[in-house]
Amino acid sequence: MVNDKINNSPTIRLKYKKSDLIIKEGDYGISIYKIVEGKVLIFNESKDREIPLATLDRGEVVGEMTFLSRITERRSASVRALEDTEVEVWDPSRLSKEYEHMPPIIRYIADQALKRLIRMNKLLIKLYTKKQREEEERALGEPLESRRIYYRKEVDLHCIYRPVGSSPTAGLTGRIKDISFRGVGLEVRPKSTLKFSHEIGEEFHLKAFLPNGKEVDFRAKVLAIRKDRSPGRPFLGMSFTDTTDDAKKNLGFFLMP
């Protein structure tokens, strides 16, 4: 930030570089900024999530909510420069006087508009957070039970796997019989049962090619073992413990209904 204050100048102008923070949520301050050049984003921060509330352009004003609400002097949202931005700082005390002398009916209307904006922002934050949480759950593969079944696909894929911590050459093989965002059902080759004893709680690196030719790579833990599906071939119910972003993406495309 370059402070452009000129001595005794009636208007103060401040310059910000793209992505500079102009106002920080929770900070104290009642100054109002008019955007002279550039563009800013008003956003709310809740639990590490950034929720965009509004984008304001040249000629528009930020910081007005704190000024108008008068209840608190804490900033209700953050403001960041989306481009190199120049703002004009308005003197809140002078504006305060003007506000007091504003025709009461207009003041009443402005107060009502402010209250509604506060309500709408709350609703927006609520909806946005809910939507993001749903998206994350979907990506993590922990959606509603019904959805999980919906997304599980029957497959028959050749799979190479090895216990976590072993050398990459310790190749065991099997066939993935079903796959979801959450995990796989793996049928172990008889030969592999001789090389390694498969127990509940064991963690493996798995690698397979989806029918669309995309490779997926993940870590999964054995949650259940069934021995009655086909003789000599234990069936492992496995839950993903770690999937790469690429694997998630490929799996996402493949599992899309």
Partner 1 sequence: MPVDRLMQSCIAKEETFPDGATIIEEGSKGDWVYLILEGRAKVKKRTAKGFVTLDTMGKGDIFGEMVLLETGRGKRSATIIAADGPLHVGILDSERLLKDYDTLSPQLKGLIRSLTIRLREATEKICAILVESR
The reply to whether 257 sits near partner 1 by the rule CB under 8 A is no
Establish if 176 lies at the interface with partner 1 (CB under 8 A): no
| 1, 2, 21, 123: which one binds partner 1 (CB under 8 A) | 123
CB of 131 to partner 1, least distance (A): 6
CB of 80 to partner 1, least distance (A): 16
Q: How is residue 93 written in tokens?
A: 């005390």
Q: Are 229 and 186 in contact (CB under 8 A)?
A: no
The span of 107-115, 177-185, 201-209, 246-254 binding partner 1 (CB under 8 A) equals 107-115
- 116 DSSP β-pair partners: none
Nearest residue (CB) to partner 1, 44 versus 243: 44
Site mask, partner 1, residues 37-56, x = CB under 8 A? -----x---------xxxxx
- Using CB under 8 A, pick the residue from 20, 29, 43, 128 that binds partner 1: 128
Contact call for residue 103 and partner 1 (CB under 8 A)? yes
Structural tokens at position 241:
């413990």
Residue 71 phi, psi dihedral angles, 5° rounding? -80, -40
Q: Give whichever of 83 and 203 is closer to partner 1, judged by the CB atom.
A: 83
Of 108, 140, 150, 227, the one binding partner 1 by CB under 8 A: 108
Rg (CA), the chain: 29
* Minimum distance from residue 44 beta carbon to partner 1 (Å): 11
Which of 22, 23, 41, 62 forms a contact with partner 1 (CB under 8 A)?
62
- Distance separating alpha carbons of residues 168 and 192, to the nearest angstrom: 15
In the complex, least distance from residue 121 CB atom to partner 1, rounded to whole angstroms: 6
User: Are 28 and 73 in contact, with CB atoms under 8 Å apart?
Assistant: yes
**Residue span binding partner 1 (CB under 8 A) among the ranges 2-10, 122-130, 150-158, 159-167:** 122-130
The DSSP result for the chain, as a single string, is -EE---TT-SSEEEEE-TT-EEE-TT-B---EEEEEES-EEEEEEETTEEEEEEEE-TT-EESHHHHHH-S--B-SSEEEESSSEEEEEE-HHHHHHHHHTS-HHHHHHHHHHHHHHHHHHHHHHHHHHHHHHHHHHHHHT---HHHHHHH-EEEEEEEEEEETTS-TT--EEEEEEEE-SSEEEEEEPHHHHHH----TT-EEEEEEE-TTS-EEEEEEEEEEEEEEEETTEEEEEEEEEEE-HHHHHHHHHHH--
Asked if residue 99 binds partner 1 (CB under 8 A), the reply is: yes
Distance of closest approach, residue 83 Cβ to partner 1, in angstroms: 18
Q: Which is nearer to partner 1, 121 or 180 (CB)?
A: 121
Under the rule (CB under 8 A), what is the footprint of partner 1?
32, 34, 42, 52-56, 59-62, 64-65, 67-68, 90, 95, 98-99, 102-106, 108-110, 112-114, 116-117, 119-121, 123-124, 127-128, 131, 134
